Structure 1
Amino acid sequence: MKNKIFVVEDDPNIRDIVTAYLKKEGYEVTTVDNAEEAWQMTRDSQPDMWILDIMLPGMDGYELCKKIRQESEVPIIIISAKDDEVDKIIGLELGSDDYLTKPFSPRELVARVKRIFKRVDVSLNSVTKINNELQLGELIIDTVDRRVFWGTKEVEVTAKEFDMLIIFIKNQNRAFAREELLALIWGDDYFGSDRAIDDLIKRLRKKLDKLPIETVWGYGYRMRSEIEESQ
């Protein structure tokens, strides 16, 4: 089955070039020139990946990224003429998986799309347990459907938050440097600062407040094997 990609870009030249390169690689591509219409489209169809421009008429790409993350963990690549580090950090903190600055090579975009899809596939198949679940106390991770539960309550997490949970639960009590977590989660070509890791940890602690993730000062983080049970 072809992976379906939604491309949201108001520049027709960039939109056509991106579409041509993605279709050549066998992807199913749907294009739209504004965020409002793109968001409405999700009522009828859900993509396997979003490619978003930031500077769009009406709702901008950041707002659309935020809305997508509130509903889904589908991968998001931001493409933008904004090349300041703060803009990239904002995009990552809103939950995007990658940020590509214009002008960019269409081949580089395709390579990043392939890398993200490959990473998602590996994450889906890298861990096998009874019933395809990992469990630590009341934390239950369904590695096939990529769902997270605390007891009987499902907890919504993004793709990056899920990947970090998998790393921690497979390596309990091991300390990870921030740089190592960046490489494991984003890949070796990550362009931003390690603030992205701190932000992921902050979000996980907010969603799973009893999760035993410890700060290793001046180094990174670890997750203990003992977990506090609910009262």
Structure 2
Amino acid sequence: MNHTIGLVEDDPNISDIVEAYLKKEGYVIQAVDTAEKAWKIFEQHSPDLWVLDIMLPGMDGYEFCKKVRQTSEVPIIIISAKDDEVDKILGLELGGDDYLTKPFSPRELVARVKRHLKRWQVMQPDVASSNQEETIESGDLLLNDAERKVYFKGQDIEVTTKEFEMLKILASQENRAFSREELLIKVWGEDYFGSDRAVDDLVKRLRKKMKDLPIETVWGHGYRLRNERKSS
């Protein structure tokens, strides 16, 4: 089945060029000119990857990226005329997986799309291994690796792919302090070039979803999951 790409770009010239190059590679394109339209598509059935402009009318690309990351880790490639380092860092910290500055080579964009889709496929649960049910338990936290399910204090918690991977790493080695760099490589991959503050953002989201989750900050280093007895 061909991958579907969501393209959010309000400049029709850029949108047409990008769409033509991606279609040539066999991708199905859902092109829109506002983040509001893109959000409706996301709520119905998200594409396999987003190519997202930042400067948009109404909701900007940063806000759209932030909203998507609340429930999904679908790859997002940001394209923007903003080339300041602070803009790139902001885009990556809000959940972007890549950042291309306009003007860019459409061929380079296609190459990055292929790379991120390949990584995304690797991150998905292995259907062949679903028959081997594995659970990881740490205090009130229970992870079902086969079903990619998380339970905390008996409640089913909805998590994204990266959130699950982070929990799995921490819970598999309770009380061990992982550095931010180590977690970044394990969760995002060795070729991720964004800031390690992405780790802090992911931990913040997990703490928000599970208020009493015993993830401890190891100051100047990283994080660990403290081993606790189950609450009665």
Deviation of 1:144 after TM superposition, in Å, equals: 5.5
What's 1:153 paired with? 155
Residue type of the alignment partner of 2:77:
I
Kept after mapping to 1: 8 A contact 2:123/2:161: no
Structure 1 CA distance, aligned partners of 2:84 and 2:113?
A: 22
Structure 2 CA distance, aligned partners of 1:53 and 1:6?
A: 11
After TM superposition, the score normalised by the length of structure 2 is 0.80
Alignment pair present for 1:16 and 2:28: no
After TM superposition, the score normalised by the length of structure 1 is 0.80
Structure 2 CA distance, aligned partners of 1:173 and 1:111?
A: 40
Q: Secondary structure at the match of 1:218?
A: coil
What's 1:182 paired with? 184
Kept after mapping to 2: 8 A contact 1:124/1:146: no
What's 1:198 paired with? 200
Kept after mapping to 1: 8 A contact 2:93/2:201: yes
- The 1:192–1:67 alpha-carbon spacing in structure 2 relative to 1, beyond 3 Å, is closer
Residue type of the alignment partner of 2:10:
D
Which segments of 5 or more consecutive residues in structure 2 lack a partner in the other structure? none
Kept after mapping to 2: 8 A contact 1:39/1:64: yes
- The 1:141–1:192 alpha-carbon spacing in structure 2 relative to 1, beyond 3 Å, is same
Deviation of 1:147 after TM superposition, in Å, equals: 4.1
What's 2:169 paired with? 167
What's 2:211 paired with? 209
- Counterparts of 1:80-99 in structure 2, within 5 Å, are 80-99=80-99
Q: Give the number of aligned pairs.
A: 230
Which segments of 5 or more consecutive residues in structure 1 lack a partner in the other structure? none
Q: Secondary structure at the match of 1:55?
A: coil
Residue type of the alignment partner of 2:61:
G
Structure 2 CA distance, aligned partners of 1:46 and 1:214?
A: 33
Structure 2 CA distance, aligned partners of 1:82 and 1:147?
A: 39
Report percent identity of matched pairs: 63
- The 1:176–1:105 alpha-carbon spacing in structure 2 relative to 1, beyond 3 Å, is farther
Structure 1 CA distance, aligned partners of 2:204 and 2:15?
A: 35
Structure 1 CA distance, aligned partners of 2:10 and 2:24?
A: 21
Residue type of the alignment partner of 2:228:
I
Deviation of 1:31 after TM superposition, in Å, equals: 0.6
Deviation of 1:24 after TM superposition, in Å, equals: 3.1
Kept after mapping to 2: 8 A contact 1:210/1:228: no
Q: Secondary structure at the match of 1:6?
A: strand
Deviation of 1:155 after TM superposition, in Å, equals: 2.3
- The 1:59–1:117 alpha-carbon spacing in structure 2 relative to 1, beyond 3 Å, is same
Kept after mapping to 2: 8 A contact 1:139/1:150: yes
Structure 2 CA distance, aligned partners of 1:91 and 1:230?
A: 39
Structure 2 CA distance, aligned partners of 1:129 and 1:171?
A: 24
Structure 2 CA distance, aligned partners of 1:117 and 1:141?
A: 26
Deviation of 1:16 after TM superposition, in Å, equals: 2.4
